[in-house]
Amino acid sequence: MKNVHKVGFGGGCHWCTEAVFMSLNGVVKVEQGFIAPKKHLTAFSEAVIVHYDANVIELKDLVAIHLDTHKSTENHSMRIKYRSAVYFFKQDDELALKGIITDVQQDFETPLITEILPFGAFTSSEERYHNYYFNDTEKPFCKTHITPKIKMLKEKYDKHLSAKLR
């Protein structure tokens, strides 16, 4: 597919983030694991790499969904493990992402803390954690933390949801 692009997202648990993006039309693949930014290659935090078809879902929609599905305005004690970030792979995307963040800021009462960072390195999480949510939606963690995010997607981003969730 020639219009498939990729972007990295970090902010909350990668199990949650993976489930959110796996729920969307136009998302071709989600890689769950840990991302380090280019200038700090040992500073890994939980994140996903999203491969998406830009003919089906736009980057601005992916970013808006990301910001709405984690605490993108809060610094907290776990921010090192859960860095709020969007990672770009192509330099051209940096400016576009900055514009998107500026536009989306109007939807939030407090300032976004989400960083826009150049992708540096990726380490996959263990295979047994891949597709964590959809392998068993009844797990207590899933019911408590991920299902509410999926419910919010149905309410606010229904047009982007895959048919299996409608």
* CATH number of the domain that residue 21 is part of: 3.30.1060.10
Q: What is the pLDDT of residue 1?
A: 63
Structure tokens at 93: 């995307």
Cross-strand bridge partners of residue 85? 10, 115
Per-residue pLDDT tens over the stretch 55-106: 999 999 999 999 999 999 988 887 888 999 999 999 999 999 999 999 999 9
Name the pTM for this structure. Answer: 0.95
115 closest CA partner among 53, 54, 72:
72
Residue ranges making up the domain that contains 61: 4-165
Per-residue pLDDT tens over the stretch 107-133: 999 999 999 999 999 999 999 999 999
Q: Residue 38 and residue 120: Cα distance in Å, rounded?
A: 4
Q: What is the pLDDT of residue 83?
A: 93
Structure tokens at 36: 């380090």
> How many domains does the chain contain in total?
1
pLDDT bracket for residue 163 (50, 70, 90): confident
Q: How many CA atoms are closer than 13 Å to the CA of 145, on its beta-carbon side?
A: 16
Cross-strand bridge partners of residue 47? 33
